[in-house]
Amino acid sequence: MKDFTVACYRELLETLLDTGYTFFTTEQYAHAMQKDNHLPADKVVVLRHDVDLKPENSLTTATLEHTLGINATYYFRIVKESNRPDIINRIAALGHEIGYHYEDLTLANGDISKAYLSFQSNLEYFRRFYPVSTICMHGSPRSPYDSKDIWRTYDYHALGIIAEPYFDIDFAHCFYLTDTGRCWDGYRVSVRDKIPTYQDQWSAAGLSFHSTHDIIRAAKSGKLPKKLMITTHPQRWTDNNRLWWKEMISQNLKNIVKRIMILLR
């Protein structure tokens, strides 16, 4: 089966369900950890989606997850490529968590206090759809600014935010998988979406997967860790043949550019 199709994504979810994983949204996970510092399940997947582009693809995955009885977190950006009120409403109505995928420091050209004001008003905007309590940084690989830097000066807890995965998930106990770069080992070419210290430990332990099929095989053979966070970008996943090839070719070109950028840093 071709990778990065909706059919392949379904197979991944079904395999995780069949092998005993329970799915959590970021919010559910943060609540459980806050309450008694442990999860009410032995095998756990925190399922997160960054809606960078093509929000209609997120509606497809959200609908699929709903039919499988799975709740996930969808992080939307404020920009028009992501922010589609009709789709946000429909995904929330399917029982999923809505969060804010913020990039305010980039939008404010590095001005921290301006970025914080814009963050607050954008958070209020997303709270019209869902009582947003978790947020997640958008990586903006071409921007010189890291939007997480707002939190060197300000505290998101003061705004009723209980979790930002980059700060509040303890990756010592939670293995991280992301489809950044349209593969599952793209941390090699990613500027910001990676977990610094643990990534090396995971790779050394053989926990490095290239294709979705590799993850499915690991889950079936019991080699996948018991606790993981999976991040996907639904814009990459499609059953449409023409769009599939377009995404595959453009992402491979982007990966080459990213490798060069990292070499030049």
Residues that bind Zn ion in the complex, under the rule CB under 5 A: 50, 52, 138
- For residues 135 and 76, what is the distance between their CA atoms, to the nearest angstrom? 9
- Kindly state the smallest distance separating residue 138's Cβ from Zn ion, in Å: 4
- Kindly state the smallest distance separating residue 226's Cβ from Zn ion, in Å: 27
Looking at the Cβ atoms of 16 and 137, the one nearer to Zn ion is: 137
- Kindly state the smallest distance separating residue 52's Cβ from Zn ion, in Å: 4
Looking at the Cβ atoms of 190 and 208, the one nearer to Zn ion is: 190
- Kindly state the smallest distance separating residue 234's Cβ from Zn ion, in Å: 11
Looking at the Cβ atoms of 201 and 250, the one nearer to Zn ion is: 250
Looking at the Cβ atoms of 76 and 130, the one nearer to Zn ion is: 76
- Kindly state the smallest distance separating residue 137's Cβ from Zn ion, in Å: 8
Looking at the Cβ atoms of 39 and 97, the one nearer to Zn ion is: 97
Looking at the Cβ atoms of 50 and 185, the one nearer to Zn ion is: 50
Asked whether the beta carbons of 184 and 214 are under 8 A apart, the reply is yes
Q: Which residues contact 56 (CB under 8 A, 6 or more apart)?
A: 84, 87
- For residues 23 and 134, what is the distance between their CA atoms, to the nearest angstrom? 17
Looking at the Cβ atoms of 97 and 224, the one nearer to Zn ion is: 97
- Kindly state the smallest distance separating residue 51's Cβ from Zn ion, in Å: 8
- Kindly state the smallest distance separating residue 198's Cβ from Zn ion, in Å: 20
